[in-house]
Amino acid sequence: MGCMASAQRIGVSTGSSVSWPDTTGSKGETVVAALARLNKEISESERTYPAARLAVVTTELESMQQEMNTFEELTTDLTKESYAKTLHQMFVSLDLYRRPLLASENEDFVANVNRKEMRRLELNWLRTRYSELQRERRGLHAQILRLRSLYTQQQLLLESLWGNDLRPGTAQESALTKASALRDALASVSAKLRAAAEYAHAAVRLLDDALPAWKLTSVGKSGWERTASCADACRLLVQARCLERGARRVLAAPAAPRAARTLRLALDYAFTDVMHDHKYERATEVFVEFKEALVHLIESIHQVLLNNLENLAVAEKDVAKCRRELQAARVNAIVHKGLAELKYEPKALTRLK
């Protein structure tokens, strides 16, 4: 995710230009070779677009932090086993396994308990994902710091050769800046679309696991087996809903679609709905509709992403072309000044920082 154009001037005070002793016979690269190497390393470092990805990650972290603040009343984590046991113990204490009609009468009470437990599951997911994004952000920061270091080295090298004089390749430098700006804008869109697609794909995979677990609730031989299967299905569906919300988060689309809102309500009443065939079938339809909505979202994202990637590929070619032309202009100027064989001395540059 391109951080900046290679032609961008980085504010580094050099004081005055420097000349290196003629060390033609010594080992090391020439200033021409150093300029080419730095240009190549900058290009390779920008190839993964770390700045665009960092912007997405930073926005996600800020949004997730705000969301986690709404869970202040929840302090303890919820495990897979404790979730099922909590609902099972409630069913036993209320004698709901043996009296399905009583389960219908108490479905709102059960739904309230389940809703609170599912919020713990959501908080678990948010905390885990938040930690993952924090680690990724640290890695992206390291990449960008290295990229900035490369730009600084390039800037010092150029200023040591020309000082405050007008540099060669001004027109090419301007063209590179414009091409890089377009490339970076397209990379920013691509980063958001890719992140959203990854979330949606992960949600569909969880639904593929959740639906078989949900079907087991209707064939369980005991109340505990049905409750355990229902807890497994609900846990996976809650995670899928979190992933769907993650896709909307990176796309800056906070409003939940109808399928997501319906899913939330169906999950609240899942443990009592499984005891009645018609309610069970309706809940199954809701889960399938949510999956279909996710598949539609993926298809929509892919259509836009493919078009974006085509434009991004063209923009990358323009950046590469401008960078080659600028490099050629600078090398020709160095040769014209008779400095083609001048050795690159990083220590001399270090003293200028």
Q: Can you give the pLDDT at residue 348?
A: 53
| Residue 100 belongs to a domain | yes
- What number is the average pLDDT over the span 298-321? 97
| Beta carbons of 32 and 334 less than 8 angstroms apart | yes
- What number is the average pLDDT over the span 81-94? 91
Q: Can you give the pLDDT at residue 166?
A: 82
Q: Can you give the pLDDT at residue 24?
A: 38
Range of the domain at 143: 31-350
| SS3 of the chain | CCCCCCCCCCCCCCCCCCCCCCCCCCCCCEHHHHHHHHHHHHHHHHCCCHHHHHHHHHHHHHHHHHHHHHHCCCCCCCCHHHHHHHHHHHHHHCCCCCCHHHHHHCHHHHHHHHHHHHHHHHHHHHHHHHHHHHHHHHHHHHHHHHHHHHHHHHHHHHHHHHCCCCCCCHHHHHHHHHHHHHHHHHHHHHHHHHHHHHHHHHHHHHHHHHHHHHHHCCCCCCHHHHHHHHHHHHHHHHHHHHHHHHHHHHCCCCCCCHHHHHHHHHHHCHHHHCCCHHHHHHHHHHHHHHHHHHHHHHHHHHHHHHHHHHHHHHHHHHHHHHHHHHHHHHHHHHHHCCCCCCECCHHHHHCCC
Ranges 63-77, 90-104, 185-199, most confident: 185-199
Max intra-chain CA distance, the chain: 96
| Residue 146 belongs to a domain | yes
Q: Can you give the pLDDT at residue 162?
A: 85
pTM of the full structure: 0.84
Six-digit token string for 216 = 């087991």
Q: Can you give the pLDDT at residue 76?
A: 65
Cβ-Cβ contacts under 8 Å for 7 (sequence gap 6 or more): 172, 173, 174, 176, 177, 180, 322, 326
Q: Is the pLDDT of residue 82 over 80?
A: yes
- Of the two residues 165 and 208, the one the predictor is more confident about is 208
Question: In whole numbers, what is the pLDDT of the chain averaged over residues?
Answer: 87
Distance CA 45, CA 43 (A): 6
Taking only the tens place, the pLDDT of each residue in 29-51 is 899 999 999 999 999 999 999 99
| Residue 24 belongs to a domain | no
Structure confidence at residue 13 as a pLDDT band (50, 70, 90): very low
| Residue 163 belongs to a domain | yes
Q: Can you give the pLDDT at residue 75?
A: 58
| Residue 2 belongs to a domain | no
| Residue 64 belongs to a domain | yes
| Residue 297 belongs to a domain | yes
Taking only the tens place, the pLDDT of each residue in 203-246 is 999 999 999 999 998 887 788 999 999 999 999 999 999 999 99
User: How many percent of the chain have pLDDT more than 90?
Assistant: 70
| Residue 16 belongs to a domain | no
Q: Can you give the pLDDT at residue 203?
A: 97
Structure confidence at residue 5 as a pLDDT band (50, 70, 90): very low
The amino acid at 129: R
Our count of domains for the chain comes to: 1
Q: What are phi and psi of 36, to 5 degrees?
A: -65, -40
* Closest of 318, 9, 1, 328 to residue 175, by C-alpha: 318
Q: What are phi and psi of 343, to 5 degrees?
A: -80, 145
Q: Can you give the pLDDT at residue 77?
A: 66
Taking only the tens place, the pLDDT of each residue in 49-81 is 999 999 999 999 999 999 998 886 665 667 778
Q: Can you give the pLDDT at residue 74?
A: 63
